[in-house]
Amino acid sequence: LIGPLTDHENGVRSILFTNNDRNLISADVNGVIIVHDLRNRQNTFSINSPENMPVWGIDLKDSDLIIGGETDSVFMVSLVNQPTFPFNRIVGTSTSPINRVAFSPDGTQVATGGSNNDFNIIIWDLESSESEIIEEHQSVVSDLVWNGNRVISVDFNGLVVIWENGTIRTFETGE
């Protein structure tokens, strides 16, 4: 246990461990992203999201961090050049805020889950910038994960959607 994340002034919306389990990254509704050093129990550095966008989802692949939140854009930044790095890339834009983000296991794609009026899952190819939209959810996407070459998502109503190489399957939780 590392204790409370006291350096955030408002609610923490997303956390994750770095690949080496030495750091914890947290993001809050004010757009503050903090990298916590777990061994020394101190902050390594903090950054603000573009335009202090409230951050709702983060994911990390190697040294690349993606964030999604209250705007319709997904941003990516390399953590190698901390702490003076800019958010160097917009992965893509949606028609509503981005609630969840996740890298594919090989780091070539990003999946996003929408909220508000756009409950879509979008699969973004990072090299070509092409995307595939999955329009199965009828409420806010509460979580999504990659499992091999599949994206598994669930919404607030309990609908589970599995996308695998363009094929879509759905089922209600409890079935």
Residue whose C-alpha is closest to residue 35's, from 73, 85, 88, 104? 85
Share of the chain above pLDDT 70, in %: 86
Q: How far is it, in rounded angstroms, from Cα 50 to Cα 139?
A: 26
Q: How far is it, in rounded angstroms, from Cα 114 to Cα 122?
A: 8
Q: How far is it, in rounded angstroms, from Cα 44 to Cα 25?
A: 10
> In this predicted structure, what is the pLDDT of residue 2?
60
> In this predicted structure, what is the pLDDT of residue 174?
64
Helix (H, G, I), strand (E, B) or coil at 52: helix
What single-letter DSSP state applies at residue 106?
Answer: T
> In this predicted structure, what is the pLDDT of residue 82?
56
Tell me the CA end-to-end span of the chain in Å, nearest whole number.
Answer: 36
CB 155, CB 140: distance < 8 Å: yes
**pLDDT tens-digit series, residues 26-78:** 999 888 888 888 888 778 788 888 878 888 889 999 888 888 888 777 888 87
> In this predicted structure, what is the pLDDT of residue 50?
80
Strands (E), 79-120: 89-93, 98-103, 109-114
Tell me the sheet residues that pair with 34.
Answer: 26, 46
Sign of CA dihedral 134, 114, 8, 47: positive
- In total, the chain counts a number of residues equal to 175
- According to the per-residue pLDDT averaged within each range, which of 31-35, 48-52, 79-83, 146-150 is highest? 146-150
Residue 175: pLDDT over 60: no
Exposed, middle or buried: residue 175 (CB in 10 Å: 0-12, 13-18, 19+)? exposed
Sign of CA dihedral 42, 88, 143, 163: negative
User: Which one is predicted more confidently, 42 or 15?
Assistant: 15
Residue 173: pLDDT over 90: no
**CB proximity list for 133: less than 8 A, separation 6 or greater:** 120, 121, 122
Residue whose C-alpha is closest to residue 9's, from 54, 66, 57? 54
